[in-house]
Amino acid sequence: MNTFLIKKVLNNNVLIALDHQKNEVVLIGKGIGFQAKKNEIIPESSIEKLFVLRSEKEQEHYKQLLPNIDEFTMDTIISSLEMIRKRTNTLVNEQVFVALTDHILFAITRLMKGLAIRNPFLSETKTLYPFEYEIAAEVVDFINQSLDINLPPGEIGFITLHIHSAITDTQLADINRYSQLVTVLIETIESQLKINIDREGIDYIRLVRHLRYTMERVLKEEKITEPEKIASLLKKEYPTCYNLAWKLIKIMQQTLKKPVFDAEAVYLTMHLQRLTNKYE
């Protein structure tokens, strides 16, 4: 069985140790530093209770965060990350672990200074990632109760993206880009069709899902076949929606830097037409 050798106790929750290959690691877990001594051995069997940082870059980033976190806040953040790990059944990777710790700490600090940030992508995020959103809502609720603070609902959206990043092993920057792209596409649809889509309604959910699946197919370069006759029929019958569909496709191409197959315009036109019928 592999073990860790304690080199230094940083606080009640964080140790610096050597793994069995003599590489330095940072071990993080609730209360692991309490009464721990240098040169003591920690069995790897306790690993599911620990977060292990092996990457030097993430270790350094984390060590810089430590002086800004009091023990109680630290406990709360570690418990939050354990909740995410249990609910998603995913080993939260180092990058996400450090980024989330950083984010939660920053959110708490901002709140204390009265600088709550508005999240413009909250409804898109909730619709795109309902499972992650549910967990994020529990995490924010837990942090609020534990620290007796009131993080705003927008934080649920931000934490949702971190959780999605952990589950899918996708870079947060990419996820942000896709959420923002959905927002741009919906705003384009609303302004061209001169409608306001209810963000809580089923039409909105359907539209976001349609756009999301289109984007996923584009990213994977999956081709769907185009019913040729339908294309010319739609172009003739519904020119406004057909031209708008192509406009949306051009925006996707520019952002995702991938080609979009013509058939997507057919399905988008049909979806947009259904939407205009509802709002007439």
**CATH number, domain at 96?**
1.10.1790.10
Q: Is residue 181 part of a domain?
A: no
Q: What is the pTM of this model?
A: 0.79
Residues 75 and 115 in one domain: yes
Is the pLDDT score of 57 beyond 70? Answer: yes
Is the pLDDT score of 233 beyond 90? Answer: no
58-72, 93-107, 135-149: range with highest mean pLDDT = 135-149
Q: Are 8 and 38 in contact (CB under 8 A)?
A: yes
Nearest to 26 by CA among 38, 15, 39: 15
Residues 98 and 38 in one domain: no
Q: Is residue 176 part of a domain?
A: no
Residues 246 and 200 in one domain: yes
Q: Is residue 7 part of a domain?
A: yes
Q: Is residue 41 part of a domain?
A: yes
Compute the average pLDDT of residues 213-232. Answer: 81
Q: Are 68 and 92 in contact (CB under 8 A)?
A: no
Residues 220 and 197 in one domain: yes
Q: Output helix, strand, coil percentages for the chain, rounded to the nearest 5.
A: 65, 10, 25
Residues 49 and 62 in one domain: no
**How many residues are there in the chain?**
280
Domain boundary among 138, 170, 202: 170
Q: How many domains does the chain have?
A: 3
Is the pLDDT score of 172 beyond 90? Answer: no
Q: Is residue 112 part of a domain?
A: yes
* CATH number of 246's domain: 1.20.58.1950
List the Cα angle 64/65/70 in 5-degree steps: 130
Average pLDDT, the chain: 90
Q: How many CB atoms lie within 10 A of CB 46?
A: 13
Q: Would you state the pLDDT for residue 170?
A: 82
Q: How many CB atoms lie within 10 A of CB 111?
A: 18
Q: Is residue 222 part of a domain?
A: yes
Q: Would you state the pLDDT for residue 205?
A: 84
Place of tokens 């413009």: 120
Q: Would you state the pLDDT for residue 93?
A: 86
Res. 223 pLDDT band, cuts 50 70 90: confident
What are 105-116's pLDDT values in tens digits? Answer: 989 988 988 877
208-212, 241-245, 266-270: range with highest mean pLDDT = 241-245
Is the pLDDT score of 104 beyond 90? Answer: yes
What are 174-207's pLDDT values in tens digits? Answer: 888 888 999 999 999 999 999 999 988 888 988 9
Q: Would you state the pLDDT for residue 17?
A: 95
Contacts of 39 (CB under 8 A, 6+ apart): 5, 6
H/E stretch holding 93 reads none
Is the pLDDT score of 219 beyond 90? Answer: no
Residues 105 and 144 in one domain: yes
CA distances (Å), origin 226, targets 155, 223, 265:
41, 9, 9
Residues 112 and 49 in one domain: no
Residues 1 and 23 in one domain: yes
Q: Which domain holds residue 265?
A: 190-279
Local structure of 92: helix, strand or coil: coil
Residues 269 and 247 in one domain: yes
The β-bridge partners of 3 are: 43
